[in-house]
């Protein structure tokens, strides 16, 4: 997934998310910091939210069932991966990949997983905290090898 793919998906779901939370176009535009006219154009497929507003949408509405279904659970890891190529950090504890993730490899308590929707990879530690995420499997495997050697 690229930033452009992410933006295209959010453009197509903004109206559904607005309806999920029962907001008017005026209220949703205000929340996102855009004009109502721009929101209408996005909802009609004539304009785009762009990167910044797409990130705002997914951050502000992170508990949306639509966002979670479209991006495979929490969008935080995906946003960090798209924003920072091959992002490494100590993330908060996860659910361990019970939903949205397939296991690629386990070793020394660490796991490589791939999101079944966005296809990005992550490494989890023994306590199911994210250590690294990337779309580059070779990068993830290299980081994994360093952690488990």
Query: What is d(CA 112, CA 36) in angstroms, rounded to the nearest whole number?
Result: 43
- The pLDDT of residue 105: 94
- The pLDDT of residue 72: 82
Do the strands 121-124 and 130-134 form a parallel or antiparallel pair, or are they unpaired? Answer: antiparallel
pLDDT tens, residue by residue, 65-124: 999 999 887 888 888 888 876 655 656 777 788 788 999 999 989 999 999 988 999 999
The pTM for the full model equals 0.67
- The pLDDT of residue 114: 94
pLDDT tens, residue by residue, 17-73: 999 999 999 999 999 999 999 999 999 999 999 999 999 999 999 999 999 999 887
Q: Burial, 128: exposed, middle or buried (Cβ in 10 Å; 0-12, 13-18, 19+)?
A: middle
Handedness of CA 103, 85, 9, 43 (dihedral sign): positive
- The pLDDT of residue 28: 97
Query: Span 124-134, mean pLDDT?
Result: 87
Q: What is the domain class of 3-71 according to CATH?
A: mainly alpha
Task: State how far the alpha carbon of 23 is from the alpha carbons of 17, 36, 50, in Å.
Answer: 9, 12, 21
pLDDT tier, 131 (very low <50, low <70, confident <90, very high otherwise): confident
Structural domain boundaries in the chain:
3-71, 87-148
Q: Is the pLDDT of residue 11 over 70?
A: yes
- The pLDDT of residue 90: 59
């Amino acid at each position: 997934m690229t930033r452009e793919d992410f933006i295209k998906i959010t453009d197509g779901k903004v109206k559904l998310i607005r309806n999920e939370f029962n907001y008017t176009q005026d209220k949703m535009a205000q929340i996102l910091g855009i004009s109502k006219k721009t929101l209408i154009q996005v909802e009609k497929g004539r304009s785009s939210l762009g990167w910044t507003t797409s990130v705002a949408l997914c951050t502000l509405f992170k508990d949306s069932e639509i966002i979670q279904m479209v991006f495979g659970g929490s969008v935080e890891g995906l946003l960090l991966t798209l924003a920072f190529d091959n992002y490494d950090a100590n993330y908060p504890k996860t659910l361990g990949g019970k939903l949205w993730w397939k296991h690629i490899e386990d070793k020394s308590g660490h796991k490589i997983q791939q999101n079944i929707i966005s296809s990005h990879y992550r490494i989890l530690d023994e306590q199911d905290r994210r250590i690294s995420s990337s779309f580059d499997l070779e990068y993830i495997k290299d980081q994994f090898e360093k952690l488990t050697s």
